[in-house]
């Protein structure tokens, strides 16, 4: 625990057809046993079915409610209110419940983002400043950029392609080194001071409309980009600003699982996603094990979050979402291996 510092890994099981293969132990909150089916190794050998045992900081069983998840996460939001930087990442294959866990801002049972916003609006004396961007194929786009009249016209003429058109209209952003501090910094990102929960909901909906989505085998409306929501909190008493980054990562499925009818564009998307997820794992692992070199520059995501992640008191949570559907067990095991590697020294 001491070695890991401020890094935590939680897992959440999504209800599914193969639930009997998963056993989240009650009593020891971070224990998860998974019955891995018999399989073939990459070099063609038969591997017998076996039970694999994983240990994390917390495992949410498939009947955990959104409020149960927030109960375990709200301490981090409180830390941001107290002046610390906080990063929360939702990781998992397409359809495993990342967006449900993080957002669900229009549903009856809201996720972490709307609940965190509500807590911050209630507890913080100054208006939080919200920004939202997506990283698609290693390009950064501002999801709250004002939409031009031209792209609005395009949207109404072509409702079927609305999301891709609006995302294409959003300006690309560049990361530059701040000459004063020598740290990477985003230039030109829109930031909106939030006045109420309803105001925040409107902005989240606007961002949702701008997201790049594409059809994949695993989930027809799968999101192929990372979405980074940042709330900047100014602290008048200390004249400082802390930030909380809530990141809904793109689906992590392996290329081999994706199916042969994928287009070249979709394969490129998945390669870009996987490269950036590996970069994130390597950076978090290097941070957790206090390495002297942290490979932030290996992806836009880690480079963008470098300032927050490397601050002495940054608190980081990787929230891994697992599908329990029988056909997804190999992919869920990959997610569990990824999550374990973040904590390995």
Ligand X SMILES: Nc1ncnc2c1ncn2[C@@H]1O[C@H](COP(=O)(O)OP(=O)(O)OP(=O)(O)O)[C@@H](O)[C@H]1O
Candidates 169, 342, 141; CA nearest to 252 is 342
Q: Residues 132, 103: contact at Cβ < 8 Å?
A: no
- The answer to the question of whether 97 is labelled as a binding residue is yes
Candidates 275, 345, 294, 287; CA nearest to 315 is 287
> Could you report how far apart the first and last alpha carbons of the chain are, in Å?
11
Q: Which of residues 192-221 bind ligand X (CB under 6 A)?
A: 219
Q: Shortest distance, CB of residue 339 to ligand X, whole angstroms?
A: 15
Q: How many CB atoms lie within 10 A of CB 212?
A: 23
Residue with Cβ nearer ligand X (278 or 286): 278
Residue 222 lies near ligand X (rule: CB under 6 A): yes
CA distance 142 to 205: 14
List the one residue from 8, 84, 100, 300 that touches ligand X (CB under 6 A). Answer: 100
From 96-104, 128-136, 198-206, 269-277, span contacting ligand X (CB under 6 A): 96-104
Residue count (the chain): 345
H or E element, residue 153: helix 149-157
List the one residue from 98, 105, 226, 315 that touches ligand X (CB under 6 A). Answer: 98
141: left (phi over 0), alpha (psi -120 to 50) or beta: beta
- The answer to the question of whether 241 is labelled as a binding residue is no
Residue 96 lies near ligand X (rule: CB under 6 A): yes
List the one residue from 79, 85, 94, 270 that touches ligand X (CB under 6 A). Answer: 94
Residue 66 phi, psi dihedral angles, 5° rounding = -60, -35
Q: Residues 75, 81: contact at Cβ < 8 Å?
A: no
Residue with Cβ nearer ligand X (80 or 277): 277
- The answer to the question of whether 93 is labelled as a binding residue is yes
Q: Which of residues 2-41 bind ligand X (CB under 6 A)?
A: 14-15
Q: Shortest distance, CB of residue 127 to ligand X, whole angstroms?
A: 29
From 92-100, 133-141, 233-241, 332-340, span contacting ligand X (CB under 6 A): 92-100
Q: What is the CA radius of gyration of the chain?
A: 20
**Total chain residues near ligand X (CB under 6 A):** 15
- The answer to the question of whether 95 is labelled as a binding residue is yes
From 35-43, 94-102, 193-201, 325-333, span contacting ligand X (CB under 6 A): 94-102
Tell me the residue nearest to ligand X as measured from the CB: 97
Q: Which of residues 303-342 bind ligand X (CB under 6 A)?
A: 321
Q: Shortest distance, CB of residue 112 to ligand X, whole angstroms?
A: 12
Candidates 175, 126, 217, 116; CA nearest to 304 is 175
Q: Shortest distance, CB of residue 22 to ligand X, whole angstroms?
A: 13
Burial of 341: CB neighbours in 10 Å, binned 0-12, 13-18, 19+? middle
CA distance 195 to 281: 35
Q: Which residues are annotated as a binding site?
A: 92-99
The annotation places the binding site for ATP at: 92-99
List residues binding ligand X (CB under 6 A): 14-15, 92, 94-100, 219, 222-223, 251, 321
């Amino acid at each position: 625990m001491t070695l890991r510092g401020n890094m935590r890994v939680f897992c959440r099981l999504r209800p599914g057809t193969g639930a009997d293969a998963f056993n989240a132990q009650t009593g020891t909150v971070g224990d998860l046993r998974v019955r891995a089916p018999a399989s073939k190794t990459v070099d063609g050998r038969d591997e017998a079915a076996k039970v694999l045992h994983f240990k994390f900081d917390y495992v949410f069983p498939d009947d955990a409610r959104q409020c149960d998840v927030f109960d375990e996460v709200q301490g981090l939001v409180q830390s941001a209110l107290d002046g610390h930087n906080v990063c929360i990442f939702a990781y998992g294959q397409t359809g495993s419940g990342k967006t449900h866990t993080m957002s669900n801002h229009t549903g009856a049972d809201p996720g972490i983002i709307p609940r965190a916003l509500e807590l911050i609006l209630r507890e913080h004396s100054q208006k939080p400043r919200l920004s939202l961007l997506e990283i698609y194929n290693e390009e950064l786009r501002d999801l709250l950029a004002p939409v031009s009249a031209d792209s609005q016209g395009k949207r109404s003429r072509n409702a079927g392609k609305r999301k891709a058109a609006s995302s294409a209209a959003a300006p690309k952003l560049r990361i530059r080194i701040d000459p004063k501090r020598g740290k990477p910094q985003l230039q030109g990102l829109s930031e909106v001071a939030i006045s109420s929960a309803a105001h925040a909901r409107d902005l989240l909906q606007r961002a949702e409309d701008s997201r790049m989505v594409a059809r994949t085998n695993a989930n027809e409306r799968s999101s192929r980009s990372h979405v980074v929501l940042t709330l900047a909190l100014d602290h008048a008493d200390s004249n400082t600003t802390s930030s909380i980054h809530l990141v809904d990562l793109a689906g992590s499925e392996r290329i081999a699982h994706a199916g042969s009818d994928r287009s070249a564009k979709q394969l490129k998307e998945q390669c870009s996603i996987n490269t950036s997820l590996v970069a994130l794992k390597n950076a978090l692992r290097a941070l957790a094990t206090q390495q002297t070199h942290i490979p932030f520059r290996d992806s836009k995501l880690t480079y963008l979050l470098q300032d927050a992640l490397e601050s002495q008191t940054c608190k980081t949570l990787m929230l891994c979402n697992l599908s329990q559907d029988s056909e997804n067990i190999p992919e869920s095991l990959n997610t569990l291996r990824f999550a374990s590697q973040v904590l390995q020294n």
